[in-house]
Amino acid sequence: MYYDLKCFGSEIRSIRNSLDLTQNDVSKLSGVHVDTLRKIETGKVVPQQETLDLLSSVLKTDLNELLLNYRFHDYYAFEELKNRIESKIDRDEFETLSVELEDLKTLLNSTSHPYFISAINQLVLLIESIILNKKYNKPNESLDKLVDAIKITTPKFSLDKYTSYVYNSMELRILMNIALLMNKLESTEKSLEIMEFCMKSVEPNDNIYPKICYNLSYTYHRLAMNEKALEYSILGIDYCNKHRDYNGLNLLYFRKGIAEYLLGYDSYKDSLKKAISFSEILNQYDLRDLLILNCKKFYNIDIQS
């Protein structure tokens, strides 16, 4: 379900101001961290029911009921399309993303709500960026697309001051892709710096969380920091199991297995076999075959034995 979080946050701010309360006042009275309140008021996060319950007593308004007034009821096509894009990105199916790109542009012509216009335009730029990087090997042009995408919702965004801003889920996905580009454009260390910032900024229930965990695990692997690679793969696996979100679980188990192998842990084969099993469960047979090949090619591991 999608909400007009910007308008919802503005109304909460108006309610707070009408009660002559500062954000710090509300934080102290409710127990909700002031950073969380700031994110809610600026429309950067979908608030949890428990958080709204705590704020409701202070602001003398049923905020869960108020949130329902800002629901969007007619954008299931956007959700379905977004899920298709996420799935292809997870499977590295970049060659056919042009299909979703055209579908997004068609959807853009049929909506008039500013929130979805912004969200669709950001997805369009994200896909164009991925195609530029993966298909045409143009990382600088790809980076420009990503910066433009964030500027749609954070107009003053500047990459050299990226730590100065508060990001929503879509912006964090874009920033994560900027971090990945830094491997080509600058250094693995710079990529890690931005990715760690994404990890600190993401809400623990956001579905971008395990993707950040995977990319952190892989980045630490590139730096031969295998304990950290293992730590983040486990965090991502724990999220997927807790939320029953199994997309990407095969890749997380692969990263876990490789980290365990490099650390000399006997459990590595069990993790790698789970990576293969989940690839089959997710019908990602090409990815399964690639994982098997990479294990043999780079580590001389025969998973199927």
pLDDT score, position 1: 60
pLDDT beneath 50, residues of the chain:
none
Structure-block tokens of residue 198: 């994404």
pLDDT tens digit sequence for 230-245: 999 999 999 999 999 9
| C-alpha–C-alpha distance, residues 175 and 88, integer Å | 19
CA distances from 149 to 50, 129, 178, 274 (A): 32, 10, 11, 36
Closest among 124, 186, 132 to 160, alpha carbons compared: 186
Q: E strands, the chain, where?
A: 2-3, 71-72
Beta bridge partners of 2: 72
pTM over 0.95: no
pLDDT score, position 95: 84
| C-alpha–C-alpha distance, residues 12 and 44, integer Å | 13
pLDDT tens digit sequence for 247-273: 899 999 999 999 999 999 999 999 999
pLDDT score, position 25: 96
pLDDT tens digit sequence for 24-54: 999 999 999 999 999 999 988 889 999 999 9
- Beta pairing, strands 2-3 & 71-72: antiparallel
